[in-house]
Amino acid sequence: MAKFRSNHQRRGKGSTGMVAKVGIFSALIAGLFFIFNLFTGEHFETNSADPELSYFLPKGGRGVVVEQTTYALSYNEAHEQAEWVAYKLSGATLREPYVERTDDFRPDPAIATGSAHPNDYRHSGYDRGHLIPAADRAYSKLAMSETFLMSNISPQARQFNGGIWRELEELTREWAKDAGELYVVTGPLLDMEPKGVIGNNEVTIPGGYFKVLLDLEEPQLKAIGFVLPNTISYEPLYKFVATVDEVEAMTGLDFFAGFLPEEVETELEAKADIDLWPLDKDKFRKRIENWNNR
């Protein structure tokens, strides 16, 4: 059984090692590597509006990869939910006016075996928790609506979904605005002991969730992971920081393989410097005083 690491304090100060030196050169190399893969590398064929999406999808999963307009996921039929969802998060689109929340939860017709159904969650005591948040795609009614497909939904404890998970999602949007663009992979920890199942489709209630972030924008290339138990939390977010390598070990997934030059990937995935991802004391206070009590 995977175990949570809750002792990931701040790791290091500022830029160290190779990542501190790569700068514009590494970003250029990453771009050239992407072009090389376009002609020779292994990648998923996609119908996405963003052709780059296919190149940073995790490898090693057990599900079926499905493409939506602005994100991809791997649907695990045994658990009736995605084992991961991957997408790019743009600061530019986050600054656009928000459309009205659609709230149109529905089965995903792209899942050949049939996805979970909204009724599976009825009277379960668990929220229909988004993996890619609706607010991450609030610039477009179509993009927003696609986040309500049940393939993107996972059973989350109410005070987790509206508490520490909300805090992390809001911070991720702030980091994307600051960076300009982030690559995001998130999902349930399906190899952990589950908390049970819900509904006629027997949707697994995960014991926890992960989120992995990659920033390839100047002036600082960086990556970080978070591993969170599916329950209410009064701990600060830095307690749940993990390296990408550690998240890979917990999930069996390989993030960003073939997307970056190997030496850059190795360096970025081995470190998790929370100082490069500023937290928000006001959000933490709101979680403790308000969000956790709803």
Cα separation, 225 vs 269, in Å, equals 9
The string of pLDDT tens digits covering residues 210-254 is 999 999 998 889 999 999 999 999 999 999 999 999 999 999 999
- How high is the pLDDT of residue 47? 47
Question: Which residue, 149, 109, 106, 111, is CA-closest to 130?
Answer: 149
Contact 253, 30 (CB under 8 A): no
Does the pLDDT of residue 176 top 90, yes or no?
yes
The string of pLDDT tens digits covering residues 135-150 is 999 999 999 999 999 9
Cα separation, 48 vs 34, in Å, equals 17
Catalytic residues: 130
Question: What CATH number has the domain spanning 17-293?
Answer: 3.40.570.10
Task: State the CB neighbour count (10 A cutoff) for residue 94.
Answer: 18
Residue 251: φ, ψ to 5°: -105, -20
Q: What is the dihedral of CA 173, 150, 225, 86, to 10 degrees?
A: -80
The string of pLDDT tens digits covering residues 30-56 is 444 444 343 433 333 344 556 677 778
Does the pLDDT of residue 23 top 80, yes or no?
no
Question: Which residue, 270, 236, 207, is CA-closest to 1?
Answer: 207
Residues 6+ apart with CB under 8 A from 74: 57, 58, 61, 62, 63, 64, 65, 66, 82, 83, 84
Question: Which residue, 50, 58, 52, is CA-closest to 31?
Answer: 52
Mean pLDDT over residues 170-182, rounded?
97
Residue 41 or 173, more confident: 173
